[in-house]
């Protein structure tokens, strides 16, 4: 848990929750704050299995998975390749496109090209409103909503300077839902769908991690047909990206009943306000049971 990404504090909260659940159930568990001495810490603690609650860069991009593979320590969640691809929203879209899985129309910025030129291209290829985001960040870090053309350069310039992997998507108005997936391949299953109704204009970092700023409805207010459609779309995405053990797929359902995949999170949050624990509870399980199920999926073979 922890690490050095922009999601460090959220990761520490996830890790603390998981650690508490493991200890309550009698596991000999320790928390490891990931840094340049992680390999030594793993050896010193004689770690047999790693439960990954490491969000963001270093955790969801295949880096920690590579270290654990080399050290031959089984770990939870997806493998190196699935994490690397799913962490990169641009790479994810290439896979979704190949597998004919619907996603929002997208513009990809190119580092080194002029901001004005690219904003003009973006406005020509996408319909307003447009949401701009880094391709390789989580927790809605670095996002901006553009509603009028005049705001494009003002919003994009500072973000492009900070995030060279910037992308833009058409902002689809509809129901924000998220679907937790447990398992792998043919054995993967979708959890009850969670609908998110944030106080803010979209489900940003503040809305995600501040109690009371988002209304959660689980199961989501969807028809049976739409529920099955969204769950199947999430399963298809999990499988297309080669994910294992646990993931969470964020989806927008528009007023016409069309579903669009926003992204897949290979190490979903496990905090007190996180989505998958709420979905698991709606399915009749407890937080502690969820932790054990994810732990039991740990492996080196994927």
Q: Picking from 131-145, 195-209, 248-262, which range would have the lowest pLDDT averaged per residue?
A: 195-209
Q: Using pLDDT thresholds of 50, 70 and 90, give the confidence band for residue 8.
A: very high
Q: Picking from 39-43, 136-140, 169-173, 228-232, which range would have the lowest pLDDT averaged per residue?
A: 136-140
Question: Span 58-72, mean pLDDT?
Answer: 97
Residue 19's region, left for phi above 0, alpha for psi from -120 to 50, else beta, is: alpha
Q: Which residues pair with 144 in a beta bridge?
A: 132
96-148 pLDDT, tens digit per residue, is: 999 999 999 999 999 889 999 999 999 999 999 999 999 988 657 789 999 99
The top-level CATH class assigned to 84-102+173-296 is: alpha beta
* pTM for the model: 0.92
Position 281 scores a pLDDT of: 96
Q: What is the mean pLDDT of the chain?
A: 94
Cα 245-231-229 angle, rounded to 5 deg: 155
Position 200 scores a pLDDT of: 74
**CATH architecture type of domain 106-170:** 2-Layer Sandwich (3.30)
Q: Using pLDDT thresholds of 50, 70 and 90, give the confidence band for residue 243.
A: very high
Percentage of the chain lying above the pLDDT 70 cut: 98
Is 60 exceeded by the pLDDT of residue 257? yes
Instruction: Tell me the C-alpha distance between 80 and 302, whole Å.
Output: 10
The top-level CATH class assigned to 8-77 is: alpha beta
Q: Using pLDDT thresholds of 50, 70 and 90, give the confidence band for residue 205.
A: low
Position 293 scores a pLDDT of: 97
- Give the domain ranges of the chain: 8-77, 84-102+173-296, 106-170
Question: Which of 64-78, 127-141, 203-217: highest mean pLDDT?
Answer: 64-78
Q: Using pLDDT thresholds of 50, 70 and 90, give the confidence band for residue 299.
A: very high
Instruction: Tell me the C-alpha distance between 217 and 175, whole Å.
Output: 11
Enzyme catalytic residues: 7, 139, 209, 248, 250, 263, 265, 269
Question: Span 236-250, mean pLDDT?
Answer: 98
Position 209 scores a pLDDT of: 63
């Amino acid at each position: 848990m922890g690490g050095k990404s922009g999601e460090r504090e959220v990761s520490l909260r996830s890790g603390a929750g998981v650690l508490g659940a493991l200890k309550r159930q009698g596991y000999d568990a320790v928390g490891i704050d990931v840094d340049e001495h992680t390999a030594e810490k793993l050896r010193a603690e004689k770690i047999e299995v790693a439960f990954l609650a490491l969000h963001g860069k270093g955790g969801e991009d295949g880096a920690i998975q590579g270290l654990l593979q080399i050290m031959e320590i089984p770990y939870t969640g997806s493998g190196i390749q699935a994490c690397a691809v799913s962490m990169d929203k641009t790479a994810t879209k290439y896979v979704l496109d190949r597998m004919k899985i619907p996603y929002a129309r997208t513009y990809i910025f190119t580092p080194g090209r002029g901001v004005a030129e690219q904003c003009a291209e973006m406005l020509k290829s996408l319909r307003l409103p447009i949401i701009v985001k880094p391709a390789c960040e989580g927790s809605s870090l670095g996002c901006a909503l553009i509603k009028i053309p005049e705001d494009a350069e003002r919003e994009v310039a500072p973000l492009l300077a900070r995030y060279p992997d910037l992308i833009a998507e058409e902002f689809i108005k509809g129901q924000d839902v998220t679907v937790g997936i447990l398992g792998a391949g043919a054995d993967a299953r979708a959890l009850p769908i969670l609908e998110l109704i944030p106080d803010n204009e979209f489900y940003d970092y503040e809305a995600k991690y501040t109690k009371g700023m988002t209304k959660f409805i689980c199961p989501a207010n969807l028809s049976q047909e739409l529920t099955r459609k969204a769950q199947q779309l999430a399963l298809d995405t999990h499988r297309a990206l080669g994910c294992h053990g646990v993931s969470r797929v964020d989806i927008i359902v528009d007023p016409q009943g069309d579903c669009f995949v926003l992204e897949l999170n290979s190490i979903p949050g496990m905090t007190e306000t996180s989505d998958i624990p709420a979905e698991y509870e709606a399915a009749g399980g407890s937080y502690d049971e969820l932790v054990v199920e994810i732990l039991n999926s740990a492996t080196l073979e994927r």
